[in-house]
Homo-oligomer: A and B are copies of this chain.
Amino acid sequence: MSLRGFSRRRLLGAAGAGTALVGAGVAGGYLAGSSGAEDPAPGQATVPFRGVHQAGIVTPAQDRLHFVALDVTATGPILRPAVVALLKRWTTAAERMTAGAEAAPGGAVNRNPAAPPSDTGEALDLPAASLTLTFGIGGSLLDKLGLPRPAALAELPPFQRDQLDPALSGGDLCIQACADDPQVAVHAVRNLVRTGFGTTAVRWSQLGFGRTSSTSTVQQTHRNLFGFKDGTNNLKAEDKAALDEHVWVPASEGPPWMTGGTYLVARRIRMHVETWDRTSLTEQESLTGRTKGTGAPIGATEEFAPIDLTSPLIADDAHIRLASASSLGGVRILRRGYNFVDGSDGAGHLNAGLFFLAFMRDPQRQFVPMQSALARHDRMMEYIEHTGSAVFACPPGLADGAYWGQPLLEA
C-alpha cells in the first residue's frame, strides 16, 4: 500500500467515515514511527494509539509540540458525569486523529451543512505525521472529584529562584500533542479543546520545536537554545529495564489506576539567551560540563563518552555533574523537552527558552531532589528562570474499548 498522497480526505473516501478507520495507516509500534525497508514518506507515519503504555512518552520524540493544560469548568453534581462523557469523546477523537482521520465522522465537510462541521478542517490535506496524543490528570482535578491524590502527585515544593506565573502553571488536565508537522499537532489540540467546550477551558498552552531530548538510540541529540546538545544521557526507549526502574509506575506502588502509567513534570524555563551569548565559550562549557561542538564531556572526545566525575576538568558545579545519577543517588528521568520562542518580552529581547517535559515514576523522589540540587548549586540558573510548572498523572495505555481515565473514574 503506497501512502504517498495519503490524506484525511482520501482515507475517508476509501474507507468511509466510521471508526473502522482507526488503526489504519502504517503500524509503527511505540518505538518507531517508521522503520525498515518500507519507510513511509516523512509525515506519513502513524503511531498506534492503544497499548500497554500511552504513546508520546517513549515514542521517538517528534520535532513539533503543542501542549495544552485545561481546567474543568463543570461543577457540582454534573462534574463527574461531564468529565466521564468528555473523556469518552476525547478518546474517540484522539484515536481517530492519530490514525490520520478527522476528529469525528462527517468531518470538516459536514453531511449536514446546517450544522457546524465536526472537524475544524485545517489538517484536511495532511497525513497523520506521527501524531501522538498523551493525556494527563492534575492533582487539582482529583481534589475536585473528591478522589485521593497519589503521594507522587503532591504539589512540588517551591524551589530557589522559581519565578512561577500561575497563569502558566497547573491545570486539571493536560494533553501533549507531538507530530512531525506543527499544523497537525495544533489541529489535534484545537479539536480536543473544542470538544471540551462547556466542560473544560484552556488554562495555558505552549508550542515547541526542535526536540531537545532524544528518547531513542536511533535519534541524534538535538541542541537547546544555549547551543548545546541536550539530553545526551537521557533514558532511551530501548533500555526497558531502566524505563521499568525510573519511568513506569509498578503495581506495588499504587494506586491501581496508575500501574503502567507515569508522572509528567512540565516546567517552562525562560532562557536569557542574550546574557548567555555574552559569556565566553570557556564559561559556557564550564557551566555545562560538556564541549559545545561535539557534546562530549570536557576532557573526552565522543558525545556518549562516560562522564568521569573524578576529573578536575568537570567543575564542582557543572550541570552534568549536578544532574548526574551518581550525584543524585541513582535518580534518572525520561526527558522529552522542546525549544520555544514566544514572541518578545517587551524589554527588547526574545521570549525564548526550553519547555521541559519529563516522565518519571515519582516526581517527589526524582524531580524534587534533582531540581533542589540544581536550583541551589547550578550556576546555569543565573541564565534561566522557571516561569511555569505543572505535574500530571499519565495513566497507562488503553486496552481496546477503554477510554482515557476509565480505571480512575470507574474504580
Q: Chain A residues in contact with chain B, CB under 8 A?
A: 9, 42, 64, 66, 68, 71, 73, 108-110, 112-117, 119-125, 167, 181-183, 186, 189-190, 193-194, 197, 201-207, 209-210, 220, 222-228, 273-274, 277-282, 284-285, 291-293, 339, 341-344, 346, 348-352
Contacts and interface: CB of A to CB of B under 8 A. Distances in A.
Given A113-B281, A124-B223, A207-B207, 18 more contacts: A108-B292, A112-B281, A115-B280, A116-B278, A116-B281, A119-B227, A120-B225, A120-B277, A121-B226, A122-B210, A122-B225, A124-B227, A125-B222, A182-B209, A183-B210, A202-B348, A205-B343, A342-B342
B9 A122 contact: no
A121 B228 contact: yes
Contact of A186 (B116, B117, B125, B341): B341
A13 to B, nearest CB: 10
Contacts of A342: 207, 342-343
A289 to B, nearest CB: 15
Nearest to A42: B42
Nearest to A224: B122
A202 B350 contact: yes
B108 A227 contact: yes
Given A124-B227, A167-B346, A183-B210, A114 B280 contact: yes
Contacts of A210: 122, 181-183
Nearest to A340: B207
A16 to B, nearest CB: 16
Contacts of A119: 227
Contacts of A108: 227, 292-293
